[in-house]
Chain A
Amino acid sequence: MPTEYVAPAEHELETIDIDVNVGPQHPATHGVFRMVLSVDGEIVKDLDPVIGYMHRGNEKLPENCDYRQAIGYHDRTDYLSQFNTEHCYVEAVEKLGGIPVPERAQYIRLILAEMGRIASHYMFVGAFGTDLGLFGTSFMYAFRDREYMQDFFEEITGERLMYNYFRPGGVAWDVPENFKERCSEVLARIKKGIVDQRGLLLDNDVVLARCRGLSPVTPEQAIDWGLTGPMLRATGFKYDIRKNEPYCIYDRFDFEIPTGVQGDIYDRLTVRVAEMEQSVHIIEQALESVPEGPIMTEGMKRILRVPPGEVYMRTESPRGEYGVYLVSNGSDKPYRHKVRAASFCNLSGLRAMSIGHYVADVVIILGSIDIVLGEVDR
């Protein structure tokens, strides 16, 4: 694989680079995302990402809503891991307001957030297979399992996509009585599904040939570019907010942080699949000890006001560090509401990751970042 652009020798024909526009409506861009590639034949010499097609003012709108109304906007930033984004926001409000959370609610949140991580990674492996040209196979297998999970989420929250289920101080309502049984059923399917995905993608010769050694990233580069989550761990750097800056009740459970070796595309894939297995492991431990009790802190006011102050809360979302910076001035609305989107920062490294590679590989490199444009543009 060439990693460096090699200039043609002097006696060859003089050539010029051609700008190629990809997107914003293009199946390989995972949404409305545009890249302007400057190519020399098949080699990419420069890349200019153009984002913002979905900019909806997701930071401004919650500054004009009260603290509970703003939860819905977090479903809509990263619309593939809604539980994780909601989790970060409600934790930020709780940290700022000093609001305790009952045990049962903590367990429910943790289980759902880990389920959300699995669902999001299923989306990734499915879509990544499509990027590689394995059209249909891995995608359909991934979506088969994701559908079971969506049914499960619908039973709990009443929604298939925009759950709006977590609240500052707990969750909106209690889970159904058959929660544990249904959870175990879904987990059994997931475990089988992960085995299928390993066979389809990780042990696949075509995938190995195309992804091994492509676009390697060193830990130093990853940290400098601000990469987080599986992108950072694929480089071999062991860092997970759930372990290193524990929130919720993650410190009670035993799990591994999967890491890669050289930060190439294949490592990003393996890290994500291994993370799904670890999430299953966490959920199994949590299911054994879900306590009975209230699901919401008593005495929560109808109009929630938090004392003046500021907080930067971050959680480990499937894409990396999802952060919410809240500034309160004591009123019932956030004064400033900033979302640190994991895919936004991960995407900013795309240019450096792509230069010197084939055009066809840029599609895979972009796919391996696992962007959600709703989160990038906000």
Chain B
Amino acid sequence: MTQEAAPSPAAPAPGPVARLFQQALPGVDITPSQTPIDEAITVHRDDFLRVMEAAHRHPDLAFDFLRCVSGVDWLTELESVNMLRSYRHGHTVIVKVRCPYEDPHIPSVSHLWASANWLERETQEMFGIIYDGHPDPRPLLTEEGLGYYVLRKSHPLAEIEEWQEGYLATIDAAKAQAAAATGAPVVDEKAAKIAAAQAKAAIITKTRADARAKGLPPEDEKAAVAAALAKWEEEQAAQAPPAAGGAPVDPKAAKIQQAQAKARVITKAREEARAKGMSAEEERQFVAEALKKFSDEAAAPAPAAAPAPAPAAQTQASKIQLAQAKAKLITKTREEARAKGLSPEDERAAVAEALKKFAEEQGG
């Protein structure tokens, strides 16, 4: 889970291929290790290009086939793993190089092996490792690019909406401002939803605990939970106020208009960005800026109703830190739960609770 578990902590004696590398590259720091099939070497990022050029051109090494490139996320560092084979000599090697999260740059080797082109493009897209000097660094599997890196450990398998919060914050702010501009009451739907979900979760947990305390069988427990939830929902429905007055005559039409105007802005900004030949990342930023400008303008006529300005965008570094802290917390809670021998369901509940607590601490 953590980088302590990374292989090759102590350097074993170099194998024949690693010795060839050391002979070909005197003075370069090469850390050898052994996998069940191949030998592996780890090099520093500054030496990486030199090592790969030697691997390709040196007659004793002559690795003419780059068979695979893979990324690995070690939470504080990103690793690029290159599997090589020499058809001439019949030997193989795995060359590994690491880069820090904050500065994920690694030199590209696609000028040495054409097969690196797509493999590096894919790794760049999935891990956010930027291969410097790549001739065609467009996203490969997702044509438009995602803006987040799905194979990093900080990217969850589920609950993507929650994780995307930062990414969607600008759009939400624009929504709120647009609503303010049309005079509709600002309803923080998301906060309400979250509050509702949290209340629900609390009820479920409580009912379950009660049921277990009473020693009910699982089926009865489920029924009890369902009943409690139904009751809660009824209460909510009773409490909900009737449709708010003061809204514009046709809020739907206004919303549609707003959305259409926004779509036009996005299209225009994208076209401009493409015409300028921006990268996918820059393009996204450009669009976000245009959107922000648009929503500012929309908010201007009704300054009284304008909500508080959106919180300053989180910097990339703090986001990463947060994600790492979260990931650590999840790991820890899970391990504790396992040590206690909890069932998967309880484990999940424990993790959710820990995350909730963490979010509260962060908010406070």
Interface stretch, picked from A146-154, A174-182, A306-314, is A306-314
Interface residues of A in 317-336 (CB under 8 A from B): 321, 323, 325, 327, 329-331, 335-336
CB distance from B106 to the nearest CB of A (A): 16
Measured CB to CB, the nearest residue on chain B to A348 is B118
Which A residues are CB-close (under 8 A) to B141? Answer: 51-52, 55, 377
Contact of A202 with B by CB under 8 A: no
| Contact B143 A60, beta carbon cutoff 8 Å | no
Q: Would B119 and A345 count as touching, CB distance under 8 A?
A: yes
Q: Are A311 and B35 in touch, CB under 8 angstroms?
A: yes
A308 to B66, CA, bound (A): 25
Question: For the complex, is A18 an interface residue (Cβ under 8 Å from B)?
Answer: no
Chain A, residue nearest B126 (CB)? A59
Contact B68 A325 (CB under 8 A): yes
On whether the beta carbons of A224 and B114 are closer than 8 Å, the reply is yes
Which of B36-44, B280-288, B348-356 contacts the other chain? B36-44
Binary contact readout B143-170 vs A (1 if CB under 8 angstroms, 0 otherwise): 1000000110001010000000000000
Q: Are A223 and B140 in contact (CB under 8 A)?
A: no
Pairwise interchain contact B142-A312, C-beta atoms closer than 8 A: no
Cβ of B182 within 8 Å of any chain A Cβ, yes or no, is no
Say whether B322 faces chain A, with CB atoms less than 8 Å apart.
Answer: no
Quick check: is A64 within 8 A (CB to CB) of the other chain? yes
Known contacts A312-B94, A330-B5: A338-B35 contact under CB 8 Å: no
Task: Given A312-B38, A314-B67, A338-B70, decide whether A226 and B113 contact each other with a Cβ distance below 8 A.
Answer: yes
Residue of B6, B90, B114, B140 near A225 (CB, 8 A) is B114
Q: For B151, what are the chain A residues with a Cβ–Cβ distance below 8 Å?
A: 59-60
A50, A312, A338, A345: which contacts B143 (Cβ < 8 A)?
A50
* Given the contacts A223-B65, A330-B5, A348-B118, A310 and B143 also touching, CB distance less than 8 Å: no
Residues of A within 8 A of B (CB-CB), count: 46
The yes or no answer to B7 lying at the interface (CB within 8 A) is yes
Residues of B within 8 A of A (CB-CB), count: 39
Shortest beta-carbon distance from A316 to chain B in Å: 13
Q: Give chain A residues whose Cβ lies under 8 Å from the Cβ of B113.
A: 224, 226
CA distance A348 to B94 in the complex (A): 22
Q: Is A212 an interface residue (CB 8 A)?
A: no
Min Cβ gap A85→B in Å is 15
B124: shortest Cβ distance to chain A, in Å? 14
B83 and A325 contact, CB distance less than 8 A = yes
Q: Could you tell me which residues of chain A, from 206 to 228, have a CB within 8 Å of some CB in chain B?
A: 223-226, 228
A21 to chain B, nearest CB (A): 13
Q: What string of 1s and 0s marks CB contacts (under 8 Å) between B105-118 and chain A?
A: 00000000111011
- Assess A313 versus B37: contact at CB under 8 Å? Given A50-B143, A338-B68: yes
- Residue A300 at the B interface, CB < 8 A? no
Contact of B157 among A61, A96, A245, A329 (CB under 8 A): A61
Which of A52, A61, A313, A323 has a CB less than 8 Å from the CB of B140? A52
Q: Which residue on B lies nearest to A52, using beta carbons?
A: B141
- Contact at A340–B90, with CB atoms within 8 Å? no
Q: Is A239 an interface residue (CB 8 A)?
A: yes
B72: Cβ under 8 A from any A Cβ:
yes
Evaluate whether A327 and B7 lie within 8 angstroms (CB atoms) in the complex, with A59-B151, A310-B40, A311-B36 already known.
Answer: yes
Prevailing SS type, chain A contact patch:
mixed
* Interchain CA distance A108-B277 in the complex, whole Å: 55
- Measured in the bound complex, the distance between the Cα atoms of B7 and A330 in whole Å is 10
What is the bound-complex CA distance between A335 and B7, given in angstroms? Answer: 12
Check B35–A60 contact: CB distance below 8 A: no
Partner of B5, one of A57, A226, A335: A335
**Minimum Cβ distance to chain A for residue B240 (Å):** 38
Q: How far is B66's CA from A42's CA once the two chains are assembled, in angstroms?
A: 35
B81 at the interface (CB under 8 A from A): yes
- Write out, one digit per residue, whether chain B residues 289-331 have a CB within 8 A of any chain A CB (1) or not (0): 0000000000000000000000000000000000000000000
Q: Chain B residues with Cβ under 8 A from A344's Cβ? A: 118
Do A96 and B1 contact each other (CB < 8 Å), given the known contacts A312-B83, A323-B68? Answer: no
Q: How far is the CB of B342 from chain A (nearest CB, A)?
A: 15
**A340 in complex: contacting residue of B37, B68, B117, CB < 8 Å:** B68
Query: A244 touching B67 by the CB < 8 A rule?
Result: no
Determine if B347 is an interface residue (Cβ-Cβ < 8 Å): no
A311 and B114 alpha carbons, distance in the complex (Å)? 24
Inter-chain CA distance A57–B6, complex, in Å, is: 24
Tell me the nearest residue of chain A to B121, going by C-beta. A348
How far is it, in angstroms, between the C-alpha of A335 and the C-alpha of B2 when the chains are bound? 10
Could you mark each residue 244-264 of chain A with 1 if its beta carbon is under 8 Å from any beta carbon of chain B, else 0?
Answer: 110000000000000000000
Asked if B35 contacts A309 (CB within 8 A), the reply is yes
A30 within 8 Å of B (CB atoms) = no
Measured CB to CB, the closest approach of chain B to A247, in angstroms, equals 9
Q: Give min CB distance, A242 to chain B, whole Å.
A: 15
Interface flag for A95 (CB, 8 Å): yes
Query: Whole-angstrom distance between the alpha carbons of A89 and B140 in the complex?
Result: 25
> Which residue of B64, B143, B150 contacts A223 across the interface (Cβ within 8 Å)?
B64
**Known: A224-B113, A226-B113, A313-B37. Contact between A323 and B90, CB under 8 A?**
no
**Nearest Cβ on chain A to B97's Cβ, whole angstroms:** 15
Query: Which single member of A64, A310, A336 contacts B35 (CB below 8 Å)?
Result: A310
Q: Contact: A311 with B37, CB < 8 Å?
A: yes
B358 at the interface (CB under 8 A from A): no
Residues from chain A with a CB closer than 8 A to the CB of B232 are none
Chain B residue at minimal CB-CB distance from A225: B114
Contacts of B87 in A (CB 8 A): 223, 237, 239
Q: Is there contact, CB below 8 Å, between B37 and A310?
A: no
**Complex: how many Å from CA A57 to CA B156?**
12
Are A312 and B64 in touch, CB under 8 angstroms? no
> CA A167 – CA B117 in complex, angstroms?
34
Once the chains are docked, how many angstroms separate the CA of A308 from the CA of B3?
Answer: 11
Q: Would you mind naming 14 contact pairs between A and B with Cβ atoms under 8 Å apart?
A: A55-B141, A223-B87, A225-B115, A226-B114, A226-B119, A244-B90, A245-B92, A312-B94, A323-B68, A325-B68, A340-B67, A345-B115, A348-B114, A349-B114
Query: What are the nearest 3 A-B pairs in CB distance?
Result: A226-B115, A52-B141, A329-B5
- Not counting A59-B126, A308-B7, A348-B117, a sample of 19 additional A-B residue pairs whose C-beta atoms are within 8 angstroms of each other reads A52-B140, A52-B142, A52-B143, A61-B157, A95-B37, A223-B65, A225-B114, A226-B113, A309-B7, A309-B36, A310-B35, A310-B94, A312-B35, A313-B37, A331-B1, A338-B70, A344-B118, A348-B115, A377-B141
